[in-house]
């Protein structure tokens, strides 16, 4: 009864109310523990809501049932075929969908639904294979980044074959931890081909030179990929190269000249059908007829046999000490191979010697790069050491400065005001003026008014107004550390050149003489 009322109510309710009611009804059916009758009615009502024209209602249904393993299969399958944003909710999470449902969703869906499927947990090989054949770059990138997805080597190679030019997909492939060697080599081949095509399109290289540069770059990359690989992985790699037509004499010769004997053994073993141990034994004695037979059985050009034998002889004489992690060409082995080819007719040895000459130039450049890098690293270490020494010296100097005793305090200087000096004979200026006659006193006062004070007088640099002050020498003894000296009193004595002397000097000498004579007579009369 309640379910029928709910369906009747949904005919007139708003879209938001219907979506909210659909989600509540779905959760009640899945997790509410309804009895059998109510569960049947709720199931029918939920399936009836699939016909609701509002996408919000169907999206609410998908959100409610996507994570439930007991959701009705008809409901989930119907939602998986809905519009992409609704279908992606159940395609990404629902465990009700089978691999067949997912493969069908990949085939008829769009990149949105394929990307949702690519992100599922525990994706099977079958679904990953279907995605590798149909999916685009976004879905394939999501599939490769899904660490829980199980992907076969063939599916990975198919991805590289279809969309290997995309940098994002190549980056996702190379960062995958379990990426097989052959897939990594295929990615390297696509990178080399892309760079060659770009250089040719830009006009930097001719098509022939670009093709050769791409081939040699691919050979170097292949040897780098195979570094420290196990025997089984190397066997799969060389088999992949043979199927792709990339296992040639030039690659095997480069492997020998680079000291990659494990790769060369695996390649010759794959080409001849012999066991790797048997091939390794024949390579230890390259001058014997057994190695020549191995060379012919592998289908390698006869003109390369002297170069192969000479390189292997140089490798054996070096003590079999080649570093398997270093793919750098050996100049010693190249020189031995060039020497062996000099005795051959020019028409036959021309192409081989040209190839060896390019290898020699490449080896010289690589050695120069290594030497330059070593010198740079040495200079960086020396600079770092020198900076550490300077830093240590600076810290030591700071410690020594902080441990020195305090400097003595600067002596305090107390300035003592200079009092005007008294007039000669103990007489003040006023007493001298009072003893003069009226006319003489007026004359002295007039002369006194004409005397300019030193502070107000302008400085005459010609020497007329310069005042000379004789300062007594000051002797300051150095105090002991830690002792605070007493303030130093500086008493600057001045000469009798003061205001009274200036006034007296302004009086004519005859008047001064007559005044002194009159004063002496008055003293005698008294």
pLDDT in tens, 370-427: 889 899 999 999 999 989 998 888 888 888 877 666 555 555 555 445 454 444 444 5
In a domain, 54, yes or no: yes
Lowest-confidence pick of 263-272, 426-435, 439-448: 426-435
Distance (Å, whole) CA 118 – CA 137:
11
Backbone angles phi, psi at 415, to 5 degrees: -85, 125
Among residues 50, 81, 97, the one where a domain terminates is: 97
In a domain, 386, yes or no: no
Q: Which residues have C-beta within 8 Å of that of residue 413, sequence separation ≥ 6?
A: 487, 488, 490
Residue 360 is predicted with a pLDDT of: 87
pLDDT band at 512 (very low <50, low <70, confident <90, very high): low
Among residues 97, 117, 141, the one where a domain terminates is: 97
Domains held by the chain: number: 2
pLDDT of residue 278 exceeding 60, the answer is yes
Q: What is the dihedral of CA 519, 521, 524, 526, to 10 degrees?
A: -70
DSSP state of 82: S
Among residues 74, 97, 120, the one where a domain terminates is: 97
In a domain, 525, yes or no: yes
Lowest-confidence pick of 65-79, 120-134, 314-328, 424-438: 424-438
In a domain, 186, yes or no: no
In a domain, 517, yes or no: yes
Residue 469 is predicted with a pLDDT of: 46
In a domain, 419, yes or no: no
Residue 100 is predicted with a pLDDT of: 94
Residue 347 is predicted with a pLDDT of: 76
pLDDT band at 454 (very low <50, low <70, confident <90, very high): very low
Lowest-confidence pick of 53-62, 190-199, 306-315, 415-424: 415-424
99 three-state secondary structure: helix
Report the mean per-residue pLDDT for the chain. Answer: 80
In a domain, 187, yes or no: no
- The residue range of the domain holding 509 is 427-453+487-526
140-186 confidence digits (pLDDT tens) = 999 999 998 999 999 999 999 999 999 999 999 999 888 899 999 99
Q: Which two tokens stand for residue 69?
A: 């393993």
Residue 476 is predicted with a pLDDT of: 44
Distance (Å, whole) CA 233 – CA 337:
30
pLDDT of residue 339 exceeding 50, the answer is yes
In a domain, 39, yes or no: yes
Residue 493: which region, alpha, beta or left (left: phi > 0; alpha: psi -120 to 50)? beta
Q: Which residues pair with 488 in a beta bridge?
A: 413
Residue 111 is predicted with a pLDDT of: 94
* CA distances to 201, 217, 221 from 214, in Å: 14, 5, 10
């Amino acid at each position: 009864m309640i379910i029928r009322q709910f369906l009747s109510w949904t005919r007139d309710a708003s879209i938001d109310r219907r979506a909210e009611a659909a989600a509540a009804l779905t959760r009640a059916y899945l997790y509410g523990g309804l009895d059998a009758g109510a569960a049947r009615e709720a199931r029918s009502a939920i399936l009836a809501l699939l016909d609701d024209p509002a996408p919000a209602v169907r999206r609410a249904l998908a959100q409610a049932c996507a994570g439930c393993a007991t959701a009705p299969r008809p409901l989930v399958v119907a939602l998986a075929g809905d519009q992409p944003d609704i279908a992606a909710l159940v395609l990404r999470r629902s465990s009700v969908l089978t691999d067949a449902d997912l493969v069908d969703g990949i085939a008829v869906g769009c990149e949105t639904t394929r990307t949702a499927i690519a992100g599922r947990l525990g994706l099977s090989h079958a679904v990953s294979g279907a995605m590798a054949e149909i999916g685009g770059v976004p879905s394939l990138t999501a599939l490769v980044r899904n660490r829980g997805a199980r992907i076969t080597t063939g599916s990975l190679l198919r991805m590289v074959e279809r969309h290997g030019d995309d940098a994002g997909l190549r980056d996702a492939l190379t960062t995958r931890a379990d990426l097989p060697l052959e897939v990594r080599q295929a990615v390297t081949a696509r990178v080399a081909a892309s760079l060659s095509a770009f250089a040719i399109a830009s006009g930097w290289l001719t098509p022939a030179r670009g093709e050769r540069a791409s081939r040699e770059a691919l050979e170097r990359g292949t040897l780098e990929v195979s570094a420290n690989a196990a025997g089984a992985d190397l066997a799969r790699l060389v088999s992949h190269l043979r199927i792709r037509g990339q296992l040639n004499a030039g690659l095997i010769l480069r492997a020998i000249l680079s000291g990659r004997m494990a790769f060369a053994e695996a390649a010759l073993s794959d080409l001849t059908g012999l066991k790797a141990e048997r091939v390794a034994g024949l390579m230890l004695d390259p001058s014997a007829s057994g190695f020549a037979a191995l060379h012919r059985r592998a289908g390698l050009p006869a003109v390369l046999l002297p170069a192969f034998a000479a390189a292997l002889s140089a490798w054996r004489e070096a003590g079999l000490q080649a570093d398997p992690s270093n793919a750098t060409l050996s100049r010693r082995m190249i020189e031995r191979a060039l020497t062996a080819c000099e005795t051959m007719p020019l028409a036959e040895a021309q192409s081989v010697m040209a190839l060896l000459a390019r290898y020699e130039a490449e080896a010289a450049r690589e050695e120069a790069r290594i030497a330059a890098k070593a010198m740079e690293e040495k200079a960086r270490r020396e600079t770092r050491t020198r900076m550490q020494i300077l830093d240590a010296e600076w810290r030591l100097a700071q410690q020594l400065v902080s441990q020195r005793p305090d400097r003595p305090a600067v002596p305090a200087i107390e300035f003592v005001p200079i009092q005007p000096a008294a007039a000669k004979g103990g007489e003040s200026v006023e007493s001298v003026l009072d003893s003069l006659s009226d006319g003489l006193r007026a004359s002295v006062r007039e002369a006194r008014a004409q005397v300019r004070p030193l502070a107000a007088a302008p400085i005459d640099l010609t020497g007329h107004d310069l005042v000379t002050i004789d300062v007594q020498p000051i002797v300051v003894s150095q105090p002991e550390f830690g002792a605070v000296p007493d303030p130093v009193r500086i008493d600057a004595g001045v000469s009798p050149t003061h205001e009274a002397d200036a006034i007296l000097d302004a009086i004519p000498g005859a008047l001064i003489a007559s005044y002194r004579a009159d004063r002496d007579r008055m003293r005698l009369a008294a």
